[in-house]
Amino acid sequence: MNLSRIRKLVNRGETETVEFKTKANHPDKIVKEIVAFANTKGGKLLIGISDSGNIVGLSSAEEELFTLNQAISKYCFPKIQLEHEIIPVSAKRSIIIYTIFESKCKPHYILSGVPNQKRQEYIRLADRSVKASREMKEILRRERKRTAVKFTYGEKEKVLLTYLEEHQYITLKDFVKIAGINPYLASRTLVTLVLARVLQIIPREGEDLYCFNTISV
Q: So what's the pLDDT on residue 168?
A: 96
The count of C-alpha atoms lying within 13 angstroms of the C-alpha of 33, restricted to the half-sphere facing its C-beta, is 26
Angle between helices 172-179 and 155-166 (to 10 degrees): 120
Q: At what angle do helices 183-195 and 172-179 cross, to 10 degrees?
A: 120
- Domain regions of the chain by residue span: 3-131, 140-212
The reply to whether 140-212 shares the fold of 3-131 is: no
For position 39, what pLDDT does the model report? 97
The pLDDT of residue 217 is 39
pLDDT, position 112: 78
pLDDT recorded at residue 215: 61
Whole-number Cα distances in Å, 155 to 149, 160, 198, 210, 211: 19, 9, 16, 18, 18
Weakly modelled stretches of the chain, pLDDT under 50: 216-217
Strand partners of residue 123? 130
Separation between Cα atoms, residue 119 and residue 140, nearest integer Å = 15
DSSP-derived 3-state class of residue 19: strand
Q: What is the CATH number of domain 3-131?
A: 3.30.950.30
When the pLDDT of each residue in the chain is averaged and rounded to a whole number, the result is: 94
What was the pLDDT predicted at 115?
72
CATH tag, 140-212: 1.10.10.10
Peptide bond preceding 27 in cis form (omega within 30 of 0) = no
